[in-house]
Structure 1
Amino acid sequence: MEIQNPTDVDHLAPQIWPVYETVFGDFESYDLWRTDLYDRHAARDGFRLVTAVDDSTLVGFGWGYTGERGQYWSDLVCNSLPEAITDEWVGGHFEVVELAVLPGYRGQGVGRALHDKLLEPVTARCLLSTTDDPADPAVRLYLSSGWRKLGVLRPGVQVMGRPAR
């Protein structure tokens, strides 16, 4: 298993899509996902992508970028959490947007390796949203990696933050 930090993210989209579709399944087609999510995020300041490759097969990925007020998710957080929290956390933060591992590769440290590689050079405070189920493996990963719950985005979904390093 190799964890990579590729620089040419455009050519990887067709390899990332099947993993994204398997894990999340929330887009009708590759074309919609590509234009409405992947390309839009890849164009953001501070975009970083990491991949997990087993032999020549992409089995996991993670990406994020620098989040700012005026962006959809940052503004959603500002409208959902107390002002004292958002004043401290939102704007100039690194936003972990996606972290996905194919089901057959879970429980082997792939998610942690992707998380760590994605955040390795990041010195800013970090934000993400995830389930608020403490038994969820993603939540356990984040808590064991220095993240903490900042508040509730909507029922069943929390915002987590990791302080700047």
Structure 2
Amino acid sequence: MTPPLDLRHYTSDDRELLLDIHDEVYAELDDPLATREAFATFLDHWAARPGFACLIGYDHGEPVGFAYGAPLSPDTTWWHGIDPQPDDAFTRETATRTFALSELNVRKPWRGTGIARRIHDTLIADRAEERITLLVHAAHSKVVALYEQWGYRTIGQTVPFDGAPLLHAMTRQLRT
């Protein structure tokens, strides 16, 4: 049975809540990029972007997960370093063409319940962009397969900055 879900838009008052959820989700991983400090930097960077959107899911008042992202700007470096490199027509951004999903986190007790998909789908349901993109750890084959089930396709691989793991760059059309 799918648990009930109350979805609320993020406010700056929710910052610590997102940090706490992220800490719990990544507690068992030995990933230097998943520390609270590193995530706080990523969150602050994304939250300051024009068009930032974040939804937090609650089950009977209990926070269970969140997703956030923002449109890619014309000067984005998102597509740099992807192998194979997509052509210029694919990577040209307008600040209204591509929504980048930066994070989707669901706490362990609610994984496998459909909550992640509901948060994701609600976050992007009213987006005006043509497509959505995300980066996912190449080593996490189950997560890659899940995104493929949701309609994403891998366009290449990248290591976007020093210390980052190998990531799949994935896209999904929202509208034509």
Task: Name the residue aligned to 2:99.
Answer: 94
Structure 2 SS opposite 1:130 = strand
Tell me, yes or no, if structure 1 residue 151 matches structure 2 residue 153.
no
Q: Normalising by the residue count of structure 1, what TM-score does the alignment of the two structures yield?
A: 0.82
**Within 2, Cα distance between the matches of 1:134 and 1:90?**
28
Q: 1:51 aligns with which of 47, 56, 63?
A: 56
| Number of equivalent positions | 157
Q: 2:136 aligns with which of 124, 127, 130?
A: 130
- Pick closer, same or farther for the CA change 1:160–1:97 going to 2, 3 Å: same
**Within 2, Cα distance between the matches of 1:24 and 1:87?**
36
| More helix as a share of residues | 1
Runs of at least 5 residues in structure 1 that lack an aligned partner in the other structure: none
Deviation track 1:48-96 (CA, whole Å, cap 9, x = no partner) reads 1111112222110000101125345x1xx32223444453145231000
Task: Name the residue aligned to 2:5.
Answer: 2
Tell me, yes or no, if structure 1 residue 121 matches structure 2 residue 126.
yes
**Within 1, Cα distance between the matches of 2:166 and 2:44?**
28
Task: Name the residue aligned to 1:19.
Answer: 21
Q: Normalising by the residue count of structure 2, what TM-score does the alignment of the two structures yield?
A: 0.77
- Pick closer, same or farther for the CA change 1:85–1:164 going to 2, 3 Å: farther
**Within 2, Cα distance between the matches of 1:13 and 1:52?**
14
Asked if structure 2 preserves the Cα contact closer than 8 Å seen for 1:99 and 1:111, the reply is yes
Structure 2 SS opposite 1:78 = coil
Q: Give, in angstroms, the shift of residue 162 of structure 1.
A: 0.8
Task: Name the residue aligned to 2:66.
Answer: 61
